Amino acid sequence: MTGADDVLALIVRGPRQHELERMPRPVPGPDEALVAVTHVAVCGTDLRLLRGTLHDAEYPVIPGHEWAGRVLAAPARPELVGQAVVGEGITPCGRCAPCGDGRHNLCLDLDEVGFTRAGAFAEAFTVPAANLRPLPPGLTGAEGCLLEPLCVALHAVERAPDLAGRDVGVIGAGTVGLLIGQLAVAAAARSVTVAEPSAHRRVVAGELGIASCGALSDWADDQPDVVFDATGVASVFPQGLEATRPGGDYVLVGYSGAETTPSAPSTIMLRELTVRGVLSGYDQIDEALRVVATGAVRLRPLLSDPIPMARYRSVLEEQAEPPLRSVFVTGVE
Ligand SMILES: [Zn+2]
Ligand SMILES: [Zn+2]
Cα(95) to centroid of ligand 2, in Å?
Answer: 5
For residue 288, is it within any domain? Answer: no
The model's pLDDT over 9-29, given as tens digits with 9 standing for 90+, comes to 999 999 999 999 999 999 999
* Closest ligand (CA of 280): 1
239 shares its domain with 158: yes
Cβ contact 65:90 at 8 Å: no
- Alpha-helix residue ranges (DSSP H) falling in the chain: 44-51, 97-100, 141-145, 147-159, 175-186, 199-207, 236-242, 265-271, 285-293, 312-318
Cα(85) to centroid of ligand 1, in Å?
Answer: 18
Instruction: Give residue 162's domain range.
Output: 151-277
Residues in the chain: 333
Neighbours of ion ligand 2 (CB under 5 A): 92-93, 96, 99, 107
What is residue 113's DSSP assignment?
A: B
Cβ contact 56:42 at 8 Å: no
* H and E: helices and strands count for the chain: 10, 17
CATH number at residue 214: 3.40.50.720
For residue 174, is it within any domain? Answer: yes
* Closest ligand (CA of 111): 2
* DSSP-based three-state secondary structure for 240: helix
Cα(255) to centroid of ligand 2, in Å?
Answer: 21
Cβ contact 73:34 at 8 Å: yes
The model's pLDDT over 145-170, given as tens digits with 9 standing for 90+, comes to 999 999 999 999 999 999 999 999 99
208 shares its domain with 133: no
pLDDT at 331: 83
Mean pLDDT of 196-200: 94
What is residue 298's DSSP assignment?
A: -
Cα(198) to centroid of ligand 2, in Å?
Answer: 39
Mean pLDDT of 198-217: 96
For residue 1, is it within any domain? Answer: no
217 shares its domain with 241: yes
Please tell me which residue, 251 or 45, carries the higher pLDDT value: 251
Q: Residue 58 pLDDT more than 70? A: yes
Model-level pTM? 0.95
What is residue 136's DSSP assignment?
A: P
226 shares its domain with 140: no
